């Protein structure tokens, strides 16, 4: 999420998207078998206030002013109740031309995880012109891109399909064809290639991102990482979820599930130990910047410049909020 390639800025991830053709690649791909996990940590409602609230300038050059926790509470940009945690952008005020941008939130977990399974239950995600929300993880040790980055939820403007990506040091490549339901967008994970495009997979589910996601009441995003590979699933609330989601006391065995939306296998093509270490977890919501800003003119959002739109249209951001039911972290049993 730190940066994004200008080669995919305007992608809508529809069937009409043009995908660069990759040369023949032959890798030994590990068998994507499942593993059993048990619950380790649960983040819910007020528990997210124990995370780090970041206020630095946006590294993606967004038109955003990340505020601290106390400011967010005072300005009603975050609140928590039993079983709910909300973070939102300001949607009542114009932004001064000389300011950093529209008030918003970026939080990072204090704990870091290696081999694990993340289960995120989201009721609502930020949507709308100029928006660029993300749920992702990065190395706690760093410096970026050492230790890797995993983008689990990401998109911009009026996108309707999620983009999952990895960003790494050199010598990490993915096969064009693999066991996944998503559409391969790019295969070189090296952050120094193609303006840090990374290796991305677009979901083929219309309800995986944006208004379609919210119309279903959200759903579950799951990320599994181990030395076999990284897999990302999306389960819409419009369909029955896996039975393991109904009780936190049940272990989860991903081998019982259908193929993931995105699969990033490790092996001769990419060494897990060389490219990924323990990751902390990030939620954020920025505006414009390297991706949403460059894609804005072709996004159907109108003739205005992205930054001007963000500054002058607070009412356009009433849907720019995260409503999170829970984030559960499972470890291998």
- Geometric angle at alpha carbon 87, from 207 and 68, rounded to 5°: 145
- Whether 319 is catalytic is no
Q: From CA 88, how far away is CA 90, in angstroms rounded?
A: 7
Count of CA atoms in the C-beta half-sphere (13 A) of 115:
14
Using alpha carbons, select from 66, 73, 6 the residue that is nearest to residue 283.
66
- Whether 54 is catalytic is no
**Biggest alpha carbon–alpha carbon distance for the chain:** 55
Reading the block at residue 211, the tokens are 């208004």
* Annotated catalytic residue, options 54, 74, 82, 149: 149
* Annotated catalytic residue, options 54, 74, 82, 154: 154
Reading the block at residue 252, the tokens are 């989860």
Q: From CA 99, how far away is CA 189, in angstroms rounded?
A: 34
Mind telling me the catalytic residues?
A: 149, 154
């Amino acid at each position: 999420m730190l940066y994004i390639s200008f080669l995919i800025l305007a992608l809508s991830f529809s069937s009409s998207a043009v995908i660069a053709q990759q040369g023949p690649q032959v890798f030994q791909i590990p068998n994507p078998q499942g593993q059993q996990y048990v619950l380790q940590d649960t983040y819910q409602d007020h528990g997210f206030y124990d995370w780090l609230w970041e206020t630095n300038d946006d590294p993606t050059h967004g038109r955003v002013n990340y505020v601290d926790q106390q400011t967010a509470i005072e300005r009603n940009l975050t609140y928590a109740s039993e079983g709910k945690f909300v973070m939102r952008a300001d949607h009542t005020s114009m932004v001064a031309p000389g300011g950093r941008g529209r008030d918003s939130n970026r939080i990072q977990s204090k704990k870091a995880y290696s081999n694990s399974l993340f289960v995120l239950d989201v009721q609502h995600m930020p949507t709308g012109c100029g928006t660029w929300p993300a749920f992702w993880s990065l190395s706690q040790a760093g410096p970026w891109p050492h230790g890797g980055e995993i983008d689990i939820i990401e998109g911009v403007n009026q996108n309707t399909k999620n983009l999952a990506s990895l960003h790494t040091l050199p010598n990490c490549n993915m096969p064009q064809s693999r066991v996944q339901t998503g559409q391969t967008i790019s295969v070189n994970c090296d952050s120094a290639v193609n303006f840090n495009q990374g290796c991305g997979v677009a979901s083929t589910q219309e309800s995986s991102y944006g208004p379609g996601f919210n119309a279903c009441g959200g759903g579950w995003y799951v990320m599994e990482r181990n030395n076999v590979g990284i897999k990302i699933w999306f389960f819409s609330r419009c369909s029955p979820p896996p039975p393991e989601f109904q009780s936190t006391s049940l272990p989860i065995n991903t081998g019982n599930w259908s193929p993931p939306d995105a699969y990033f296998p490790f092996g001769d093509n990419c060494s897990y130990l060389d490219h990924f270490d323990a990751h902390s977890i990030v939620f954020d919501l920025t505006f414009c910047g390297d991706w949403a800003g460059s894609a804005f003119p072709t996004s159907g959002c109108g003739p205005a410049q992205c930054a001007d739109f963000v500054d002058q249209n607070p009412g356009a951001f009433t849907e720019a909020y995260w409503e999170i039911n829970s984030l559960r972290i499972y470890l291998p049993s």
